[in-house]
Structure 1
């Protein structure tokens, strides 16, 4: 029993005659009649009573036709579902990010994304890198951006962005006279620092130990943007990443920034849940994300230079 036999039967039942059924399908009337005869042979059902030129559906035909109608309705629903999935994916995306990118890059990416997908709901969470990792590893979130100090087991992780560390200070600070800030320049200086478990903080501490420099750590915070804001409020000078400074436009607030030498790398990872393929929505988001990431990285490197050997 092939589809052409079903279509011939369906056309006759809908139109009430082989002639109109043939017109509906764009075939000849004898072709319709042959299909009906073949369908009766295949199903071993008596589908029509023939009274002269007229065909009268039997009770078996009515039952069979109802099954066909139900099947066609199901197929139509499947086609509609496919169309919805094709146009808007699953209808939602969940994004988690650390503050460095979550306060700057990701809001722009989301804005551009929802312009193209106005019916999609986006859930956006800013958290520390460990929390971002846990949200993605559990499958609760579709994508995460975080610092590279996380445990990468049970996530799919790949390098996302590498920028260099910069020293930020208020306008008029003595260090603003220097073109580059070195570890010894921070000796005795009030310092707003990242948390001790941050990989960039560990790089800074190592470079300070090498020259015996001992800044006065006045505040420790998890987020690069918080470093900039605290410095803007006069808490001291700070070491942060170029992304936080450039993307959040802290220079417009009067902050001065200088490259730090030796170069300290701030590395961000993109993480995805394990054992899950990317939806069309996520693929589209990633396309926008990569374009904006490249633009931001170029802006940071133009302003402060890149990280030697960074990627």
Structure 2
């Protein structure tokens, strides 16, 4: 059976009419082509070319073979084109979602890396609350959700992304802005802005108060962490927020204080376990994990 290399060389001689032309077309040595051509003819048992006036002309016996070889070569080229398109993401779309805290800074940085790796891929990105992620995945709207907590579900698995921590944000004009760190009881003594504590994300933000049995007053509640940050920047109170929302100084107008307590929480990529992830979704998880780990290091 002829190898793809033999098919490639036979076709190159047929197209160029010379050994030297075939060598230039394939960017290999002419003696190498001559040796492989002789070996191929010995294997086939009949000459494939006649030499006339320094050019190689297909023999009558081989013309039908050459037509078949040309078809094979075109199919191989089509296969290579499809592989190249797969590698660049051309004609493909990756749909995924993220909770707001990860979507604000981490997702754009990871998406930039995805586009560098697969420059032609199309992306559709949704922003969801944690409780919306089940329907999003089960209805097949996207492949994965970057999420800040996990839950038990028979169809949904969770790949760890990174361990984060909570921080306290205060207005630059606040007397607290002179501090670099703050204790939970000090936070609880101020009016807070935050997410509803009954919300899954809100529970993460207020866990430090429950753990230390501290009473607190949340006079402004909102749905998203970015809104919390804007309200703090406006001087309306202080807040506990996750570090990913305020990473890399992307939300100016607030002073970030370390919290002198255990505040770690875990983030995940949620996805259906009954459907394999695409290579693009796997790459997104890998790159998002790297960005988040670098932030929390």
TM beyond 0.5: yes
How far apart, in 2, do the equivalents of 1:156 and 1:138 lie? 15
Cα pair distance change 1:224/1:273, threshold 3 Å: same
1:257 counterpart SS class: strand
TM-score (norm 1): 0.67
How far residue 170 of structure 1 moved from its aligned partner, in angstroms, is: 2.0
Change (3 A) 1:290 1:205: closer
Q: Is the contact made by 2:163 and 2:293 (CA closer than 8 Å) also made in structure 1? A: no
Q: Which runs of 5+ in 1 are unaligned?
A: 18-22, 39-53, 299-311
Q: How many angstroms apart in 2 are the aligned matches of 1:29 and 1:229? A: 73
Q: Is 1:295 aligned to 2:294, yes or no?
A: yes
Deviations 1:191-239 (A, max 9, x none): 212121223145245247x24x241x22223322221112222332222
1:34 positional shift: 6.1
In structure 2, distance between residues paired with 1:64 and 1:28: 17
Cα 1:192–1:132, aligned 2, differ >3 Å: closer, same or farther? same
* 1:186 has 2:188 as partner: yes
Instruction: Write the distance in 2 (CA, Å) between the matches of 1:163 and 1:29.
Output: 63
The question of 1:203 aligning with 2:207 is answered yes
**How far is 1:103 from its partner?**
0.9
CA–CA separation in structure 1 for the residues paired with 2:126 and 2:160: 20
Would you say the 8 A contact 2:184–2:209 is kept in 1?
Answer: no
**Any residues of structure 2 matched to 1:1-311 within 5 Å, and which?**
2-3=1-2, 26=34, 57=60, 66=67, 69-88=70-89, 91-176=92-177, 179-183=181-185, 186-187=188-189, 189-195=190-196, 196-198=198-200, 199-201=203-205, 203-204=207-208, 206-207=210-211, 210-211=213-214, 213-215=215-217, 217-250=218-251, 252-253=252-253, 255-274=254-273, 275-279=275-279, 281-298=280-297
Please give the alpha-carbon distance, in whole angstroms, between the structure 1 residues aligned to 2:87 and 2:41. 39
Quote the offset at 1:266 in angstroms: 3.4
> Residues of 2 paired with 1:56 and 1:240: CA distance?
79
Task: Give the conservation status (yes or no) of the 8 Å contact 1:194–1:240.
Answer: no
Cα drift, residue 186 of structure 1? 2.1
Kept after mapping to 2: 8 A contact 1:166/1:242: yes
Give the C-alpha shift of residue 294 in structure 1: 2.3
Contact 1:130 1:150 in 2 (8 A): no
Kindly indicate whether the alpha-carbon contact (under 8 Å) linking 1:207 and 1:262 is maintained by their aligned counterparts in 2: no
Counterpart-to-counterpart distance in 2, 1:245 and 1:28: 64
C-alpha separation in 1, matches of 2:150 and 2:285: 22
SS at match of 1:236: coil
CA distance in 2, matches of 1:143, 1:29: 52
**Distance (whole Å) between structure 2 residues aligned to residue 185 and residue 147 of structure 1:** 22
Cα RMSD for the two superposed structures: 4.4
User: Which sections of structure 2, spanning at least 5 residues, go unmatched?
Assistant: 18-30, 47-56
Q: Deviations over 1:107-155 (max 9, x none)?
A: 1222233234332222222222233454345444233211104455423
Displacement, 1:87?
A: 4.5
The alpha-carbon deviation at position 270 of structure 1 amounts to 1.8
Say if 2:206 and 2:240, in contact at 8 Å, map to a contact too.
no
TM-score of the pair, normalised by structure 2: 0.69
Q: Structure 2 vs 1, CA of residues 80 and 173 (structure 1 numbering), >3 Å: closer, same or farther? A: closer
Deviations 1:62-119 (A, max 9, x none): 7776555444432331232223324547643333211111111111222233234332
